[in-house]
Amino acid sequence: MMQMKKYKLNKGVFIAIEGIDGAGKTTQVQRLKEYFQRKNLIVNTFKEPTDGHYGQLIREIAKTGRHLYTPEEELNLFLMDRKEDCEKNINPALAKNELVIMDRYYHSNIAYQGALGIDRELIQSKNEKIAIIPDLVIILDCAVRVGLARIKYSRNETPNHFENEHYLQKVKKIFQAMSGPNIQVVNSTPDEDTVFNHVRNIVNDMIAPYLIETDEQQDLFGTTENTPTYKFSEN
């Protein structure tokens, strides 16, 4: 068994995992978390919409229907939810040089509310005024039918009002058209191990310049102490 080296970060590193419903975001976020915890990093994972006041309202809309809100009002709810998430969760963790991994962030806003007809650049600029830009955005891309089938059969859930096929086709197209130095699109049709290999390689390349080897064992409360070394398999 290979000894896993211990690391810490010399700055907060911020990664967002994005994609249509059923693309596999939650699974990949969890696997990244476990992988980097084994390297001794403090890993924060946050999900949007959040469980806060605005996030709960958004989930209610997803369940009952969107007819009571205009697309602009819907956009504003996501923005307020995200602003709160940044202030309460994301910015403090980054300020402590920790790793932050998002299960959805503002590229979902551009894709989902953009698919309702709101100007994408406007959504982006509103977000970048209130929310920090990620170091890396990984967009998991699969066919809408594959995503919807995963929701129905694997999760045993009925798709909600954000999850109809026609709408998600538009969302997918917007995600696919995104480009930029911090954006990578990964085909998430294959099995989760194959997708994780790909995702992990991209994240490892991006994070490498910020990793410092250390002997210290960091505990989950953010303090550090010296402890005996553990053995983990390198995967």
Binding residue for ligand TYD, selected from 28, 44, 109, 218, defined by CB under 6 A: 109
123, HSE (Cβ side, Cα atoms, 13 Å)? 26
CA distances 229 to 40, 42, 182, 214, Å, are 10, 16, 34, 11
Q: What is the per-residue binding string for ligand TYD in 17-46, x denoting contact by CB under 6 A?
A: ----x-------------------------
127 binds ligand TYD (CB under 6 A): no
Residue 159: cis peptide before it, omega within 30 degrees of 0:
no
49 binds ligand TYD (CB under 6 A): yes
Side chain identity, residue 220: L
222-227: list long-range contacts, CB under 8 Å, 24+ apart.
222/42, 222/96, 222/98
Binding residue for ligand TYD, selected from 112, 118, 136, 137, defined by CB under 6 A: 112
175 binds ligand TYD (CB under 6 A): no
Question: Token digits for 106?
Answer: 């503002």
Question: Could you tell me the smallest distance in angstroms from the CB atom of residue 207 to ligand TYD?
Answer: 23
DSSP track, 20-37: STTSSHHHHHHHHHHHHH
Q: Per CB under 6 A, which region of 4-12, 103-111, 180-188, 217-225 contacts ligand TYD? A: 103-111
Please answer whether residues 147 and 141 qualify as being in contact, where contact means their C-beta atoms are separated by less than 8 angstroms: no
- Rounded to whole angstroms, the Cα distance separating 153 from 142 reads 16
Q: Per CB under 6 A, which region of 28-36, 104-112, 132-140, 222-230 contacts ligand TYD? A: 104-112
Question: Could you tell me the smallest distance in angstroms from the CB atom of residue 38 to ligand TYD?
Answer: 26
54 binds ligand TYD (CB under 6 A): no
Exposed, middle or buried: residue 110 (CB in 10 Å: 0-12, 13-18, 19+)?
Answer: buried
Question: Could you tell me the smallest distance in angstroms from the CB atom of residue 28 to ligand TYD?
Answer: 13
Q: Per CB under 6 A, which region of 4-12, 101-109, 202-210, 214-222 contacts ligand TYD? A: 101-109
Binding residue for ligand TYD, selected from 54, 162, 175, 196, defined by CB under 6 A: 162
- Rounded to whole angstroms, the Cα distance separating 101 from 90 reads 9
Binding residues (CB under 6 A) for ligand TYD: these are 21, 48-49, 62, 78, 104, 108-109, 112-113, 162-163
